Chain A
Amino acid sequence: MTLTKLSLRNARNQTSDYLVYFITIIIAAALIYAFNGLVVSNEIQGLSMTMQNLSYIIVSASIVVVLIIGWLINYTMRFMLTKRSRELGTYILLGIEPRKVAQMFFVENLAIGIVALGIGVCIGNLIFHALHAAIFRLFSTAHTFRFSFSVQALGLTVLYFAVIYLFALLKSRKHIRKMKIYDLIYFEKQNESAAIKKSKSRKRLFTASLLCGIIGTALLTTLNLKTNLIGAVLLIFFLYGFFMSFSSGIPSYYEKRPTKKYQGHKLLTFRTLSSKLSTIGVTMATIALLFTATLVAEGSGMVFYTQFQRQSEMVTSYDLLISSRSTSDFSRYEAYIEEHIPVRQSRTYETYEGDDDNISQHLLNNADYWTYLEKDTVLKMSDYSALRQMLGYEPVTLHDGQYILHCMDYLAPALEAYGKEVAIGGTLLTKGPIYTEVFTQYTWDGNGRGFIIVVPDELAGAQPVCNYIYAAMTDIAVSGTLYESLIALQPDTTDDHDMILSKAAQAEENASLHAMILFPLYYLSFVFMMVAATILSIHLLSDTAKLKQQYQILYNFGMDYKEMKKSLNRQFALFYAMPTIPAIIICITFLFSFIKVLDPGTIASTAQPFFIIGTALLLFLAIYAVYIIASHKSLKREVLPQQ
């Protein structure tokens, strides 16, 4: 049997031993290929001007992915090396040169990599088509499914994998060459030792890391780039310090409290956990860090998504809006519109300044609100009725001596509480009903900033004009070249340019942002999550033999099956919970403060932040659960003695 054959046979055995790892490499290859597909797709690039940036963003994300996957492959190879050191030592003992053994080991891993890459690319092509369709849907562009295979994307994917494996090859070769036969054969007998042994320095490190954790989390909530960066560095220190000292810390805690130690089956749980943590404290910290990054990326994605959704709803209710502060003459636009854009209905009208800014002041004091307007904004009832009809809203009536408030939905509660009269040209009006349909009130160029006061025509008409507005509902989407041509028609003055808002253009911009921010964020978070969960699972599953022996001993001593099951479950749960708890705490704190910087009104209710964070956590836990369930099943089957 040639050595290559032996390598390939070993590779096949390894695949079943490290199934989780193998599947992760497949999914990673699939994702890398799919996103590379987007990078090289001309169709995607052509969707909008900004979409060209997508390539740069995805390539940057891919570099991070390559680093992380590289770490996983490298870590797993080193891990396999130690677990199989006796076998490798035997090869050397039999007279095979270390160089050849290193080569064999590499060929094995390369074979696993190539098979994973092959399967991954096939799956990746499907994912690519799904992403492709999703992006076209985002842009509301017709998309016909056409099966294709991108050689360029494949080339890029192979290049990434080649870099990863070349690096891993060099590292494992160095490792094997440096090892002596004795070390290889007796590697298993080397014992676990705590990373930090001295009790004093351990306590100091533990306290320091906790402090760093608290300060770091607090700094993360400041939402200032500089302090955030310092916060992130402190949090990294916290995670490493915490896991390195915590693992050595538990034994010393129990040593002082023997009675506590011997209660129930704490003894087994804490000892197994602490011995595990003392060897993989650093790995555990890295996993916690990856989990934190995953959760922050997923959560931020959700926050951005909420913002985009809100924005595309709120910015304008009309298909097209042109607003000017200085002139009612829209003829330059109208000529173009008449020629190129079929208009269903349009209206030219004005908004006016009120006598004062009482309502704005009320909102500034009682709601999350901002404005640049010096006076409250007023609209004629006739214009209001016509615009409502144009937008397909129910008709409303204005009673004598009253005013109507039309505002953004989130401001309604604050305005309900406002009971004062409003003076328009000296005439006092009492408060009438409040309406909250979407009404182009997101910025100050439309129908007031956040709200508008609707009053009888004769009162409003006597006031100074605030904005001249042309609003239209069109039969086609005003986006792409149509929108850009309209923008190009703006007068060349710097201080007084018109505002042109188009529902379709806004949707397109949101779609681009969506694709450019959300897709890479989820790409990264998915890879982080998988890599971290894989390493955890590999560690646990590789301990199966040890755990099995442990539980066999306990079985012989007459430990109840139920208790063994409970004890194993507890060990298992703690192992998987350890790195997630700090990650969840950091992420929740960060996201709550991140949500605060969203535009006012984006968060519609107090429940929404919980919903956003809840969804992010759920998504995380759902993927995590797959890994947990898979390893739990195999662990329980393998470890617990037959009843």
Chain B
Amino acid sequence: MLKIENVEKYYGSKNNVTKALDRISFEVQRGEFIAIMGASGSGKTTLLNCIATIDTPSAGNIFLDGVNVTEIAPQDLARFRREKLGFVFQDFNLLDTLTIEENIALALTINHVDAKLIQHRVHTVAEQLGIEDVLNKFPYQVSGGQKQRAACARAMVHKQSLLLADEPTGALDSKSSKTLLEMMADINRRIDVTILMVTHDAYSASYAGRVLFLKDGRLFNELLKDTQPRQAFYHEILDVLALLGGDISDVN
């Protein structure tokens, strides 16, 4: 469903070009849970932003559901984003003036969903993610884990094709992280939500089915979980990270 083809991204002026992404290519199948790992500055967030249509690649193509997102007219980008993509950010990005329910509903009101259906759909998703009892609370009244689950709910309530998560556990404690990741893996399995997660945390990545490693803007390695238990996969990821060296070695 997602196809990245020779994507490149340059920053800077003529004499001083920084290559943030260097001929990246890979594919994501529907229902996959894929993690992209790399040190800070490796280009993983740039890649995510390009897929998210928040940033535009300097070269290459990105296809989502057969549509080349790099060719979408600027005036149609917003529509594409709200219909196809769901976002989960490290710092939740919930609007603190809205209740949890309203935050989730926001994705539907932006999509002009019939007002009568909204409450029901929000409650359904909230139930799937185990946050139905905090729906009437404001973000500041709930825990970080609940906030992030609300963000996930918002990212999937409109049945978006792809859930993009940028360091979703970055602001959570280890227990909340674990719950969130288990939940993400669960919805991926049960409801077939396609997830693309960017992280520099090996533990988080171990919940994915496949891990791509980025280094200095290039695809460095790829790991498949297959049938092995999560623990083993985690260690495999750590081994690759050790090979990658640099500043990731101090992670976990």
Decide yes or no: A558 and B108 within 8 Å by CB, A259-B115, A267-B98 being known contacts.
no
Asked if A557 is at the interface (CB within 8 A of a chain B CB), the reply is: yes
Decide yes or no: A559 and B82 within 8 Å by CB, A262-B109, A272-B97 being known contacts.
yes
| CB-contact partner of B116 in A191, A259, A561, A563, under 8 A | A259
Which secondary structure characterizes the binding site on chain B?
Answer: helix
Q: Are B87 and A267 in contact (CB under 8 A)?
A: no
Query: For the complex, what is the distance from the CA of A268 to the CA of B99, rounded to whole Å?
Result: 11
> Which residue of chain B has its CB nearest to the CB of A258?
B119
Q: Are B109 and A267 in contact (CB under 8 A)?
A: yes
Asked if B105 is at the interface (CB within 8 A of a chain A CB), the reply is: yes
Chain A residue numbers with a CB within 8 Å of B63 are none
Asked if A463 is at the interface (CB within 8 A of a chain B CB), the reply is: no
* Interface window among A146-154, A487-495, A548-556: A548-556
Q: Are B108 and A191 in contact (CB under 8 A)?
A: no
Q: Are A550 and B140 in contact (CB under 8 A)?
A: no
> Which residue of chain A has its CB nearest to the CB of B83?
A558
Q: Are B93 and A553 in contact (CB under 8 A)?
A: yes
Chain B residue numbers with a CB within 8 Å of A263 are 115
Q: Are B109 and A265 in contact (CB under 8 A)?
A: yes
Query: For the complex, what is the distance from the CA of A460 to the CA of B121, rounded to whole Å?
Result: 95
Asked if B12 is at the interface (CB within 8 A of a chain A CB), the reply is: no
Asked if B110 is at the interface (CB within 8 A of a chain A CB), the reply is: yes
Asked if B178 is at the interface (CB within 8 A of a chain A CB), the reply is: no
Query: For the complex, what is the distance from the CA of A557 to the CA of B94, rounded to whole Å?
Result: 12
Asked if B232 is at the interface (CB within 8 A of a chain A CB), the reply is: no
Query: For the complex, what is the distance from the CA of A271 to the CA of B105, rounded to whole Å?
Result: 13
> Which residue of chain A has its CB nearest to the CB of B79?
A558
Decide yes or no: A556 and B52 within 8 Å by CB, A191-B138, A263-B115, A265-B109 being known contacts.
yes
Q: Which of A235-274 contact B (CB under 8 A)?
A: 258-265, 267-268, 271-272, 274
Decide yes or no: A559 and B110 within 8 Å by CB, A271-B97, A271-B98 being known contacts.
yes
| CB-contact partner of B102 in A264, A267, A550, A557, under 8 A | A267
Asked if B225 is at the interface (CB within 8 A of a chain A CB), the reply is: no
Q: Which of B91-127 contact A (CB under 8 A)?
A: 93, 95-98, 102, 105-110, 115-116, 118-119
Q: How far is the CB of B80 from chain A (nearest CB, A)?
A: 7
Q: Which of A146-205 contact B (CB under 8 A)?
A: 189, 191
Asked if A275 is at the interface (CB within 8 A of a chain B CB), the reply is: yes
| CB-contact partner of A262 in B52, B118, B140, under 8 A | B118
Chain A residue numbers with a CB within 8 Å of B119 are 258-259, 262
Q: Are A267 and B105 in contact (CB under 8 A)?
A: yes
Chain B residue numbers with a CB within 8 Å of A550 are 95, 97
Asked if B54 is at the interface (CB within 8 A of a chain A CB), the reply is: yes
Asked if B66 is at the interface (CB within 8 A of a chain A CB), the reply is: no
> Which residue of chain A has its CB nearest to the CB of B92?
A553
Asked if A2 is at the interface (CB within 8 A of a chain B CB), the reply is: no
Query: For the complex, what is the distance from the CA of A563 to the CA of B74, rounded to whole Å?
Result: 15
Q: Are B106 and A557 in contact (CB under 8 A)?
A: yes
Q: Are B83 and A643 in contact (CB under 8 A)?
A: no
Chain A residue numbers with a CB within 8 Å of B118 are 258-259, 262
Asked if A560 is at the interface (CB within 8 A of a chain B CB), the reply is: yes
Query: For the complex, what is the distance from the CA of A267 to the CA of B98, rounded to whole Å?
Result: 8
Q: Which of A512-531 contact B (CB under 8 A)?
A: none
Q: Are B108 and A556 in contact (CB under 8 A)?
A: no
Q: Are B78 and A559 in contact (CB under 8 A)?
A: yes
Q: Are B102 and A271 in contact (CB under 8 A)?
A: yes
Q: Are B81 and A556 in contact (CB under 8 A)?
A: yes
Query: For the complex, what is the distance from the CA of A643 to the CA of B78, rounded to whole Å?
Result: 10
Q: Are A558 and B85 in contact (CB under 8 A)?
A: yes
Chain B residue numbers with a CB within 8 Å of A561 are 78
Query: For the complex, what is the distance from the CA of A264 to the CA of B95, rounded to whole Å?
Result: 17
| CB-contact partner of B115 in A189, A260, A554, A557, under 8 A | A260
Chain A residue numbers with a CB within 8 Å of B107 are 557
Chain B residue numbers with a CB within 8 Å of A265 are 109
Query: For the complex, what is the distance from the CA of A274 to the CA of B110, rounded to whole Å?
Result: 20
| CB-contact partner of A560 in B54, B79, B87, B97, under 8 A | B79
> Which residue of chain A has its CB nearest to the CB of B49?
A556
Chain A residue numbers with a CB within 8 Å of B77 are 558
Q: Which of A26-81 contact B (CB under 8 A)?
A: none
> Which residue of chain B has its CB nearest to the CB of A556?
B87
Query: For the complex, what is the distance from the CA of A191 to the CA of B98, rounded to whole Å?
Result: 13
| CB-contact partner of B110 in A260, A275, A557, under 8 A | A557
Q: Are B115 and A643 in contact (CB under 8 A)?
A: no
Decide yes or no: A558 and B110 within 8 Å by CB, A191-B140, A258-B119, A262-B118 being known contacts.
yes
Q: How far is the CB of A275 from chain B (nearest CB, A)?
A: 4
Query: For the complex, what is the distance from the CA of A395 to the CA of B110, rounded to whole Å?
Result: 78
Query: For the complex, what is the distance from the CA of A561 to the CA of B77, rounded to whole Å?
Result: 10
Query: For the complex, what is the distance from the CA of A560 to the CA of B79, rounded to whole Å?
Result: 7
Q: Which of A541-598 contact B (CB under 8 A)?
A: 550, 553-561, 563
Query: For the complex, what is the distance from the CA of A561 to the CA of B78, rounded to whole Å?
Result: 8
Q: How far is the CB of A545 from chain B (nearest CB, A)?
A: 13
Chain A residue numbers with a CB within 8 Å of B82 are 557-559
Chain A residue numbers with a CB within 8 Å of B78 are 555, 558-561
> Which residue of chain A has its CB nearest to the CB of B86?
A557
Query: For the complex, what is the distance from the CA of A265 to the CA of B87, rounded to whole Å?
Result: 20
Chain B residue numbers with a CB within 8 Å of A559 are 78, 82, 110
Query: For the complex, what is the distance from the CA of A643 to the CA of B138, rounded to whole Å?
Result: 30
Q: How far is the CB of B89 from chain A (nearest CB, A)?
A: 8
> Which residue of chain A has its CB nearest to the CB of B116?
A259
Chain A residue numbers with a CB within 8 Å of B97 are 271-272, 274-275, 550
Query: For the complex, what is the distance from the CA of A557 to the CA of B86, rounded to whole Å?
Result: 7
Chain B residue numbers with a CB within 8 Å of A272 are 97
Q: Chain B CB within 10 Å — which of A264, A556, A559 has the most?
A: A556
Decide yes or no: A643 and B74 within 8 Å by CB, A191-B140, A259-B115 being known contacts.
yes
Query: For the complex, what is the distance from the CA of A189 to the CA of B140, rounded to whole Å?
Result: 9
> Which residue of chain A has its CB nearest to the CB of B105?
A262
Query: For the complex, what is the distance from the CA of A268 to the CA of B93, rounded to whole Å?
Result: 15
Query: For the complex, what is the distance from the CA of A400 to the CA of B97, rounded to whole Å?
Result: 86
Q: Chain B CB within 10 Å — which of A189, A271, A275 has the most?
A: A271
Contact with A along B220-235 (1 / 0, CB 8 A): 0000000000000000
Chain B residue numbers with a CB within 8 Å of A274 are 97
- Could you list 8 further interchain pairs (A-B, Cβ under 8 angstroms) beyond the known A262-B109, A267-B98, A558-B85? A267-B102, A275-B97, A553-B93, A556-B52, A557-B81, A558-B83, A559-B82, A560-B78
Q: What is B's interface to A at a CB cutoff of 8 Å? A: 52, 54, 74, 77-83, 85, 87, 93, 95-98, 102, 105-110, 115-116, 118-119, 138, 140
Give 18 CB contacts A-B under 8 Å.
A191-B138, A191-B140, A258-B118, A258-B119, A264-B109, A267-B98, A267-B102, A268-B98, A271-B97, A274-B97, A275-B97, A557-B81, A557-B82, A557-B87, A557-B106, A558-B80, A558-B82, A561-B78
Q: What is A's interface to B at a CB cutoff of 8 Å? A: 189, 191, 258-265, 267-268, 271-272, 274-275, 550, 553-561, 563, 643
Q: Which 3 A-B pairs have the closest CB atoms?
A: A558-B82, A558-B81, A262-B115
